[in-house]
Amino acid sequence: MAYGDYVVMRDLNFDIHRGEIFVIMGGSGCGKSTLLRHLTGLLHPATGQIFYDGVEFTGADDHDRNHMLRKFGVMFQGGALWSSMTLAENVAFPLEEFTDLSPEIIRETVELKLALVGLRGYEDFYPAEISGGMCKRASLARAMALDPDFLFFDEPSAGLDPVSARRLDELILQLRDSLGATIVIVTHELASIFAIADRALYLDVTTRTLGGLGSPNDLRAHSPNENLRLFLNRGVTVLRGAHDPATGSPFAGLPGSHQG
Ligand SMILES: Nc1ncnc2c1ncn2[C@@H]1O[C@H](COP(=O)(O)OP(=O)(O)OP(=O)(O)O)[C@@H](O)[C@H]1O
Ligand SMILES: [Mg+2]
């Protein structure tokens, strides 16, 4: 992956499994958003290919490519809603743009998607009239409008308080279970990584390549990559401070969780 002559990451060889929650993690500026932009077709790899269901995405012609894009739901970093539209209008937009569904069906679909993220009854609210956490959930509803097979979220819980962030994680787990979608999430928030990731990929900014791939617990305990171990262990103390142990921290019983 490169911007002009500037190589962000090289030799990224990995598979994402159908139906898993796959986390892309790493420090700020390592290239997480850049990778997500490649996976969703906004950027083209300097070299290499990307396949979905065995079909090459990177070299596909417009017809095939649009067909594949229809299966994607994306929430970009900072994933803002359109402020001049109500939540219902925001979620309806992709349906109006990309389908021939009748207004009645679109209205029902919008209600269903908003209900799925716990926003039943907020159809006619504007983004400015609801909380940041509710905006994030509405963005998820919009990303899910077209019943995507693949969902991509860039830092969905950024800027949320720990409780709202945790609720969003639970929502993402529920969505995976109810939709059966494959979910790719960019995050550097340890609580989210340990709570939701089936597998996580670490982009190592010092070597500019893949620094590890596996279950977060395995990586934290056994990865030969010291940067990665530090990355995954850095938060134990911080997170102990951020979570009330009485609520059942996901770190209870893990190595090092008695510290701090
Ligand atoms: N449009 C662009 N043109 C040139 N360089 C860019 C562009 N976008 C990002 N970069 C550079 O590429 C690198 C990776 O950026 P990227 O936004 O992918 O990082 P990130 O891991 O998502 O960071 P963060 O955690 O802060 O969101 C950074 O060095 C950044 O400065
Ligand atoms: Mg980013």
219 found inside a domain: yes
* In contact, 125 and 86? CB cutoff 8 Å: yes
Which domain CATH number covers 186? 3.40.50.300
Same domain, 188 and 137: no
Same domain, 105 and 225: no
Ligand nearest to the CA of 34: 1
Same domain, 38 and 110: no
254 found inside a domain: no
132 found inside a domain: yes
pLDDT for the residue 225? 96
Q: Determine the Cα–Cα distance for residues 29 and 17; give it in Å rounded to an integer.
A: 26
Same domain, 165 and 212: yes
Q: Determine the Cα–Cα distance for residues 236 and 73; give it in Å rounded to an integer.
A: 32
Strands 199-204, 21-25: pairing kind: parallel
Atom of ligand 1 nearest to the CA of 28: 25
Same domain, 165 and 207: yes
Helix (H) or strand (E) holding 55: strand 55-56
Same domain, 108 and 225: no
Same domain, 127 and 164: no
Joined together, the tokens standing for residue 241 give 């401070």
Its pTM stands at: 0.85
Report the separation in Å between the CA atom of 5 and the middle of ligand 1, taken as the mean of its atom positions. Answer: 14
Domain boundary (147, 162, 195) is at 147
Instruction: Select from 10, 12, 23, 33 the residue to mutate for testing ligand 1; criterion: most ligand atoms less than 8 Å from CB.
Output: 33
* In contact, 63 and 139? CB cutoff 8 Å: no
* In contact, 11 and 173? CB cutoff 8 Å: no
pLDDT for the residue 212? 97
Positions of the chain with pLDDT lower than 50, given as ranges: 238-260
Structurally, the chain folds into a number of domains equal to 2
Own/partner contacts of 218-226, CB < 8 Å, gap of 24 or more, are: 220/254, 220/255, 221/255
Same domain, 157 and 228: yes
258 found inside a domain: no
Same domain, 102 and 222: no
Ligand 1 neighbour 232 (Cβ under 6 A): no
pLDDT for the residue 244? 41
Q: For residue 110, which of 125, 91, 124 has the smallest C-alpha distance?
A: 91
242 found inside a domain: no
| CB-side neighbour CA atoms (13 Å) of 2 | 9
Same domain, 108 and 203: no
pLDDT for the residue 239? 46
pLDDT for the residue 236? 56
Report the separation in Å between the CA atom of 57 and the middle of ligand 2, taken as the mean of its atom positions. Answer: 22
The single-letter code of the amino acid at 255 is P
pLDDT for the residue 253? 39
Q: Provide the domain limits for residue 6.
A: 1-71+151-233
Same domain, 62 and 129: no
For ligand 1, atom 17: residue with the closest CA: 33
pLDDT for the residue 240? 45
pLDDT for the residue 46? 96
245 found inside a domain: no
Q: For residue 4, which of 50, 37, 43 has the smallest C-alpha distance?
A: 43
How many CB atoms within 10 Å of residue 60? 18
pLDDT for the residue 158? 81
Same domain, 57 and 122: no
pLDDT for the residue 250? 43
pLDDT for the residue 211? 97
Ligand 1 neighbour 32 (Cβ under 6 A): yes
Ligand 1 neighbour 1 (Cβ under 6 A): no
DSSP H helices, 151-211, are 162-179, 190-196
239 found inside a domain: no
199 found inside a domain: yes
